[in-house]
A and B are shown apart, each in its own frame.
Chain A
Amino acid sequence: MLKNPCERMFGRSLWVYHANSGGCNGCDIEVLNALTPYYDLERFGIKLVGSPRHADVMLCQGPALRATAVALRRAYDAMPAPKLVFAIGSCACGGGTWFDSYAVLGPVEKAVPVNFYVPGCPPRPEAIIYGVAVAVGLVEKKAAPVHFKQAEFPIPLYHPGQLHGVGDLVVYEKLEKI
């Protein structure tokens, strides 16, 4: 009986728990910037709480280190359902510059399942607010993969001895022997 109003109110009152599992704090500061008066996130109902048990959304930043992956997983398990995980910054999305370091397991996906990614180094507060809006469903996401192709596969290999010019064209004649 109580699930329905909860789901309807979920987007209007998100309580956020901030978990930094080894980052440089750049994204920390951008997240806190988003809560300051200029980019006030509290006007959307978003509140920073100090305990994962009170939170709906976990903002992870920094890559998952060998030392902190376990702690991150425990914080994720302590959150009550329904919950979302955001990976903020390049380190959390894909490992950043440290993806193959000895101390780093990789992006945050290796420790907790991630719902939304906000790339950037660090992402602007507007980018973080945009990420929250995409999660809540207010706007459509803008990123899309790009694939530029100059040729279709399979292509044949040409030996330069088999090409000769006829007027303007270059003609390929497969010879038995060069």
Chain B
Amino acid sequence: MNPNVLAGLLNVVMVLVAAPFFQGLQRKITARIQARQGPPLWQPYFDLFKLLGKEDIEVGESPVMQRFATYLSLAVVLTVAFLVPMGTAAPGEGIGDAIVLTYLLTLMGICTMMAGMAAGSTYSLVGISREMMSMVTLEPLFAVAVLVGALHARSLHLDQVFNGASYSTQGVPWSGLVMLALMILAFQAFVQRLPFDMSEAETELMEGPLMEYSGPKLALFEFAHMAKLVVFSAMFIGLFVPWGEALYAPLAWLVFWVKALVLVVLVAVVAAVHARYRIDQAIRYFAAMTLVSLGALILAVYGY
């Protein structure tokens, strides 16, 4: 077997095991910032186990579509985890490249929309309309980030794009730095945490598209939500924080996960001190950033 495929499977296992831990870390940090004790770090594991054993009430517009949307959402997140290098080389070469990755990321958003439409209640429909609006203005941003890396690396293979290729120009990598700034500003929106969780995890206000899901399906959706944080952190680190990847193999893997931990802590801190943006404020914000990212793309084409 291609050893890189083993690395991909290791990624999937790590995401399966570590995603609830990162979510627990986020809840604990949020609680500490709010001056209270907070749940234990393993709380999301308890939540998932409990949800998996509850009765599955299937009511909504179309239960078949509900099941399909649930399984597809988890499958897409795990596929992205398989493709993205997390401390080791990616299983590229015919399994996936940057274009497939961009489409898979869009598919994640579409899964949420399918989930909401399959449920069919009013709150779900409002939630997915918000998801659609934010996806339209947000997905181009990530596509441009990946493309800038691909343009500098002159290749679409993931282990070359996610190797800090955004910085590999002669002189000062302007496009890379612009994309780094934009991705820092928009990262919370990709992982659907505050201040940008208007669409899906809006549990405080309306429950969003997940309103009609109960028991095991909810467990899978929650898990997909937790795993998105890990997977997007991996992509962010691969694109913009690549130092330490050239070390001896197990050490590089550890360095990667330490970087992911730091990033999750930062995401949690930002999420704890912000309030939620309204959808129109958020769209204006994203649209402005997408326009600037197109400028960065033009710079990258000309080699800056």
Contact = CB atoms under 8 A, between A and B. Distances in A.
Do A and B have CB atoms closer than 8 angstroms in the complex? yes
Interface of A: 2-10, 12-13, 15, 36-38, 40, 42-45, 47, 49-51, 53-54, 56, 78, 80-82
A2 B48 CA distance: 11
A78 B57 contact: yes
Contact of A37 (B36, B203, B218): B36
A14 to B, nearest CB: 8
Given A6-B52, A43-B39, A45-B43, 6 more contacts: A6-B49, A15-B47, A40-B37, A42-B39, A44-B39, A53-B213
Contacts of B204: 50
B36 A42 contact: yes
Contacts of A40: 31, 36-38
Identify which of A4, A6, A8 gathers the most chain B CB atoms within 10 Å of its CB. A6
A89 to B, nearest CB: 24
Given A12-B46, A45-B46, A54-B207, A80 B35 contact: no
A113 B49 CA distance: 26
Nearest 3 CB-CB pairings of A with B: A6-B53, A37-B36, A80-B55
A13 B46 contact: yes
B36 A51 contact: no
25 contacts: A2-B53, A2-B216, A3-B53, A5-B50, A5-B52, A6-B51, A8-B49, A13-B43, A13-B50, A37-B35, A37-B36, A40-B38, A42-B38, A42-B39, A44-B39, A49-B203, A49-B207, A50-B204, A53-B57, A53-B212, A53-B214, A54-B207, A56-B50, A78-B57, A81-B55
A9 B216 CA distance: 14
Contacts of B213: 53-54
A45 B204 CA distance: 17
A7 B53 contact: yes
Interface string B180-223: 00000000000000000000000111110011111110100000
B31 A42 contact: yes
B163 to A, nearest CB: 40
Contacts of A53: 57, 211-214, 218
Contact of B206 (A8, A45, A47, A50): A50
B207 A51 contact: yes
Contacts of A38: 36
B62 interface: no
Nearest to B204: A50
Identify which of A5, A7, A44 gathers the most chain B CB atoms within 10 Å of its CB. A5
B218 A45 contact: no
Interface string B49-84: 111111111000000000000000000000000000
Contacts of B39: 42-45
B56 A6 contact: no
B34 interface: yes
Contacts of A42: 27, 31, 36, 38-39
B205 A50 contact: yes
Nearest to A43: B37
A9 B50 contact: yes
B38 A9 contact: no
Nearest to B206: A50
Contacts of B47: 9, 13, 15, 45, 47
A38 B31 CA distance: 12
Contacts of B43: 12-13, 45
A65 B52 CA distance: 35
A45 B213 CA distance: 20
Identify which of B39, B52, B213 gathers the most chain A CB atoms within 10 Å of its CB. B39
B50 A6 contact: yes
Contacts of B52: 2, 5-6
